């Protein structure tokens, strides 16, 4: 089974942190691509090891990624 999940990646100091909000799983890497690939591996391991109940509970919510503007001053 293939699931389409979200990866939110941001730079922190000299590494990139990758977060999958649907499962609340994180990883990191030296590049965006490596962070995303490491996240994919961590998610696959999580899905192999977690109980069906835990996976269902974590995947139960909806997540939306969008942009917005804010004015300062």
Residue keyed to tokens 């977690």: 50
Mean pLDDT score of the chain: 92
Chain segment 47-59, per-residue pLDDT in tens: 999 999 999 888 8
Rounded Cα gap, residues 13 and 9, in angstroms: 13
* Structure tokens, 43: 């998610």
Strand order from edge to edge, sheet including 25-29? 8-12, 15-20, 25-29
Q: How far apart are CA 62 and CA 28, in angstroms?
A: 24
Rounded to whole angstroms, the Cα distance separating 28 from 68 reads: 26
| Domain spans of the chain, in order of start | 8-58
pTM for this model (two decimals):
0.83
**pLDDT tens, the chain, 73 aa long:** 677 899 999 999 999 999 999 999 999 999 999 999 999 999 999 999 999 999 988 887 777 888 899 999 8
């Amino acid at each position: 089974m293939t699931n389409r999940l979200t990866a939110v990646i941001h730079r922190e100091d000299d590494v990139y942190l990758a977060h999958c909000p649907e499962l609340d799983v994180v990883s990191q890497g030296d590049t965006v691509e490596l962070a995303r690939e490491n996240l994919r591996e961590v998610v696959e391991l999580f899905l192999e090891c977690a109980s069906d109940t835990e996976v269902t509970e974590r995947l139960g919510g909806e997540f939306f990624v969008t942009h917005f503007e804010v004015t300062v001053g």
